[in-house]
Amino acid sequence: MAIFKGAGVAIATPFNANGEVNYEEFERLIEFQIANGTDAIIVCGTTGEAATMSEEEHMEVVKFCIDKVNKRIPVIAGTGSNCTETAVKLSKIAEEYGADGVLCVSPYYNKATQNGLLAHFGAIAEAINIPIILYNVPSRTGCNIMPETVVKLCRQYKNIVGIKDATGNIAQTSRMMQLAEGCVDLYSGNDDEIVPIMAVGGLGVISVLSNVAPQQTHDICQKCLDGDFATARELQFKALPLVKALFSEVNPIPVKSALEMIGIKAGPLRLPLTKMEPANEAVLKEEMQKYGLI
């Protein structure tokens, strides 16, 4: 059984002015998500600025989220690293804390061959019992998990169950699903590709858009799951201008501005990320208004 179907939010991490995690506001964001139809929470991923957290802080945020959600919906912890030992360590702690699964990005900077990816993800799978979703985002990592590698991992390890696909390459995704013959749980990693990904067998999305539009993102996915792709397509089209604005600068710069616009005190970004450019922020505000969020 899949960890979740529908819209999983790649949740942002609110910070105080001094740069520390704002747990009070983080709880508000968690409750906002659950109250508005989010199907799962993915904590400490790219959108959560995990790359700027110490291991201790990273796992404190994961534990806080797991405890506050309290099994109402699945919580998937981002535990990937370009160091296999670190990824194993974080994944084991997430399992101890009660995570429903982990999201593991392919190694970045040092990268890996396909054989290296098999060994890296295999080591994580052998260290834990909870489900693992691979995360393929070559634009950030410089490392592409090829379809054959994904399928081999999902067949070889019972707890490697699927992939967050942010390749933007629908031909590669289709090839993977053709090879998989049902053994790969596929999630879109791009908010502008929810319907195309679900049309080739995806179960939903791991979404940035869901931070500010959880119900709407859920609805796009649900229409696909119901087989109503005509309505899903219209909902996807309606969201495209806002999605474009949410990615006008590197994620999560725009979405933290968007959260502020709806009254969530997302706070500052951690360097090297900086505040959104005023011109881009003005466009984002306009699209938020058009979409009915403010």
Q: pLDDT by residue (tens digit) across 156-187?
A: 999 999 999 999 999 999 999 999 999 999 99
Does residue 293 belong to any structural domain of this protein? no
Residue 164 annotated to the active site? yes
Rounded to 5 degrees, φ, ψ at 31 are -65, -35
Does residue 275 belong to any structural domain of this protein? no
Does residue 294 belong to any structural domain of this protein? no
- Rounded to whole angstroms, the Cα distance separating 178 from 199 reads 13
**What is the predicted pLDDT for the residue at 1?**
79
Does residue 250 belong to any structural domain of this protein? no
- Rounded to whole angstroms, the Cα distance separating 224 from 81 reads 32
Domain residues for the domain of 217 are 6-231
Residue for token digits 């520390």? Answer: 20
3-state secondary structure 240-262: HHHHHHHCCCCCCHHHHHHHHHC
User: Given 63, 135, 152, 187, which residue is catalytic?
Assistant: 135
Structure-block tokens of residue 210? 């869901």
User: Given 5, 63, 152, 164, which residue is catalytic?
Assistant: 164
pTM: 0.97
Nearest to 58 by CA among 100, 82, 86, 27: 86
Does residue 72 belong to any structural domain of this protein? yes
Does residue 169 belong to any structural domain of this protein? yes
Does residue 285 belong to any structural domain of this protein? no
Three-state DSSP class for 11? coil
Cβ proximity of 212 and 258 under 8 Å: yes
Q: The domain spanning residue 167 has which CATH number?
A: 3.20.20.70
Number of domains observed in the structure of the chain: 1
Spans of the chain below 70 pLDDT: none
How remote is the C-alpha of 170 from its chain's centroid? 18
Residue 238 annotated to the active site? no
**Residues 6+ positions from 169 with CB-CB distance below 8 Å:** none
Does residue 185 belong to any structural domain of this protein? yes
**Per-residue pLDDT tens over the stretch 34-74:** 999 999 999 999 999 999 999 999 999 999 999 999 999 99
